[in-house]
Structure 1
């Protein structure tokens, strides 16, 4: 005899759930947050805000002279800004961090969307819903000429719709350009960031003040730049070899003093077996030397001063006087003669007999005092207003300083004393208290050059063009779908036995013009262009 156990079977024991790794969960959630579109927009906004100091404050990579002047004008604020990297914004750590986070976020956003968009492009339009009359656009029309689905599909294909025919139903969709443009826009942003990165790694630039004359020729080596910056993957030996000599500089000004045009003429010597050549370039037309471009940033004048010491030994100095930014191109500078007053009998120089002249150069000096500002940027009445100093210039101490400014510490501690001041025109001579003389012989023009190699520029230009095209597609394209259902003729129908075509339309996004487009489609499908529409209540 067999007994039956009526007791209910116990449920199988559930396997213990594995607790998720908290570190992996944190990384996964952080990655999702970083690659969200909201985070990308926030980082893009932060990058734009972070670039503001680079546009407002002078940058060492563009104009180191203005950075030095900013330190002189704001001695308390400038060191704090320098510690925060405000004078090298685009190379600072905080700007690079925002840059890299934005790059990672954009890549994480774009790649999944590209994959989904590619799948959507390969898919056929979806089948028609059962109730077309529930769609925002709906109509029923008689179409004797379009009596089958293939004829309706042919009309839609001619209007560049993606069409799928399923029996007596036609599905069509249009407007994938919106998502394509959106992806092109974001991909172009990634390409722009790549272009900036390539330029930062493999690009280089340097600034040089070049005075006219063969004796002031400049060769493309890092030591001859007043300021140079090489990319992380660039060595000094990678700089292309060439030399430049400034032959002439022509500047034209309006009567108001505003600049009209600048043109520099240089002699280019490239050691590639070819002869020297002459080239002209201007502000908006750089000189191209191999992979590098030479840009004209500014210009000024270098007065020629001849100093004859008390022993009758003469020295001539051509020193650039940097412009102070006024419209008259007033220049400030110093001409130092540290080797003056060497005793010819002993050949020794007294350390306290060095001479320097500090002051202004006026391309067009006023007719009467005060002589503190030039009246016009061209040389109509050139003059120098100088203050003579004698003593120890402090050059032998080994302390670095500017060659365009006098070391005021030597004046303060009494080692350098003022011995007179004078205004000199071209050809005039000034005799100092010890019998030495200073003669103003004239001036030479100088230009401020920026030599740059930016390998990412072509990529960035192409990316910007694609970005604008993608933005246009993203803003003006609209996703929409339409369906047509062809009903066989019925002798008892009010249309007199002709085929009935029921149509419905659905815009995927806000599209004010979709009603007109839908009406045009119905007119094209209808036999005579005037469809017999019986729209449901509520149709637009």
Structure 2
């Protein structure tokens, strides 16, 4: 080393030096570290990718499964309450997860909104790309057409311009054309099947339309349920519903002012075969008015044939029996009379119900038990044979005391508060049951009164729903089918024809490419060659 030149060992920077501003606008950062803007861009690219959209769509489908399996509070509050009573350990967990109101839960809404954002971010850029590609001319012919898997060639004495003109006429009907020339000779490029990508985009766009349609219906619509004993009527006001589930932006002032009355309920029962005793057909003849004082119309309400009034639909979704009971108290006063709705507990319509007469003297009277449409004793045990009314029978326990109806706490009509009531027993201390068949009367112990089974009426459970702009969802479904058909059956293809002079004759080369893969192009090549070559041409075809 030359004298007078001194060197010093390099100084290692301190660990925190890489975090110290350098004086420029950008700070030093570790390799691979993203800035806030870069992180947002990366997250947006991930969210708007087709892979993410498919994952979110799958999550939405999986998230909808609990809404179909678990009773929903907004659809059937009574069934939900019964399920919660039967599953006391699962109920708190399901409540925390929002499984009794899946479609209104925060996690379902988050998946829904993320899917919509993902679809918008995925589809909109692809629309611009597709539009630019659609307007662009077909690509020029490759340098070596014979390297393509499907190609053919022949020689002719015709001039290249004549062959290319004939090629243009032959392909222009169903293809987009581009004509050009290069050092290898003149060429014609033809392309068809661009609507395949349009079908793919249409399908994804229609999914977005369907989601928007469902969203509008969920926000502005409503769904409610009511149980009507045959002979009773209904007016479309909030107070008439047994359960009601409105959308977040629901406006009660826009409820259509219709009313209807159910006059009968007809059930067809199978009398033979393996399904003997099962119900086969249901009809609920009713009359309705579209407005107060309006004309009366008739309609036979059936399953899957709802009554449509304006934008509201009335569905028949269930039925059952309402035994007609009369209760007299110890003073002989009639304290309860009328049909009581019993809820089916099995497919044979064995039903459970509660009767309350809190004003009876000297103590309130409550009944709780079962109704058998077709009662029978098998081995000394009571069973219900079928749902048809063949031998209607009541078997209930009787309670006397305070039924808890005056404490200000709302109480379900299908539950009996027995905390301050005693079970009535016979004089010998054995269990007392109110076992009645139609037309019979039984006296209650201790002079508490009597119960009479007067007859049986039927009830129908109706679902009333309004979904604004449901046509939008229908349009989305139709567009999805059209887009799916287009993406499945339209095959994008490109065909090239090149003609050039070689050794005093014209060499014509034809090649085809199926852009979707797997297409059989032999027939396409043969058709193009047949239209191009003269009858005396010598053909030499090859196929990889």
The normalised TM-score by structure 2 is 0.86
CA distance in 1, matches of 2:242, 2:464: 12
For 1:459-498, list aligned pairs within 5 A.
459-487=472-500, 492-493=504-505
2:442 matched to 1:430?
Answer: yes
2:209 matched to 1:191?
Answer: yes
How big is the alpha-carbon RMSD for the aligned residues of Structure 1 and Structure 2?
A: 2.3
1:471–1:270: structure 2 CA closer, same or farther, 3 Å change rule?
Answer: closer
1:202–1:492: structure 2 CA closer, same or farther, 3 Å change rule?
Answer: same
For 1:154-165, list aligned pairs within 5 A.
154-158=169-173, 160-165=174-179
Note if contact 1:522-1:531 (Cα within 8 Å) is conserved in structure 2: no
Question: Deviations for 1:1-41, whole angstroms, at most 9, x for unmatched residues?
Answer: xxxxxxxxxxxxxx967569922222111111111112112
CA distance in 2, matches of 1:102, 1:309: 62
CA distance in 1, matches of 2:537, 2:514: 21
Shift of the alpha carbon at 1:307?
1.2
CA distance in 2, matches of 1:147, 1:134: 25
Q: Identify the residue that residue 169 of structure 1 maps to in structure 2.
A: 187
1:527–1:249: structure 2 CA closer, same or farther, 3 Å change rule?
Answer: farther
Note if contact 1:391-1:417 (Cα within 8 Å) is conserved in structure 2: no
SS at match of 1:275: coil
CA distance in 2, matches of 1:269, 1:371: 49
Q: Identify the residue that residue 308 of structure 2 maps to in structure 1.
A: 288
CA distance in 2, matches of 1:17, 1:316: 87
CA distance in 2, matches of 1:50, 1:78: 18
For 1:333-352, list aligned pairs within 5 A.
333-341=353-361, 350=362
1:294–1:360: structure 2 CA closer, same or farther, 3 Å change rule?
Answer: same
1:218 is aligned, of 210, 221, 234, to 234
1:390 is aligned, of 400, 418, 423, to 400
SS at match of 1:97: helix
CA distance in 2, matches of 1:121, 1:279: 53
What 5-or-longer segments of structure 2 have no aligned partner? 1-22, 29-33, 426-431
What 5-or-longer segments of structure 1 have no aligned partner? 1-14, 342-349, 494-498
Note if contact 1:177-1:477 (Cα within 8 Å) is conserved in structure 2: yes
Aligned residues: 499
1:33 is aligned, of 42, 46, 55, to 46
Question: Deviations for 1:170-227, whole angstroms, at most 9, x for unmatched residues?
Answer: 11012212211110111011111101111111111111111112xx322111122111
For 1:233-248, list aligned pairs within 5 A.
233-248=249-264
Question: Deviations for 1:453-499, whole angstroms, at most 9, x for unmatched residues?
Answer: 112432222212221221222233333211112336x7844xxxxx5
SS at match of 2:376: coil
1:503 is aligned, of 499, 510, 516, to 510
Note if contact 1:365-1:371 (Cα within 8 Å) is conserved in structure 2: no
2:196 is aligned, of 167, 178, 201, to 178
For 1:224-263, list aligned pairs within 5 A.
224-255=240-271, 256-263=276-283
1:319 is aligned, of 340, 363, 366, to 340
Note if contact 2:289-2:296 (Cα within 8 Å) is conserved in structure 1: yes
CA distance in 2, matches of 1:288, 1:370: 49
CA distance in 2, matches of 1:115, 1:156: 27
Shift of the alpha carbon at 1:79?
2.1
Shift of the alpha carbon at 1:514?
2.5
The normalised TM-score by structure 1 is 0.87
Q: Identify the residue that residue 142 of structure 2 maps to in structure 1.
A: 129
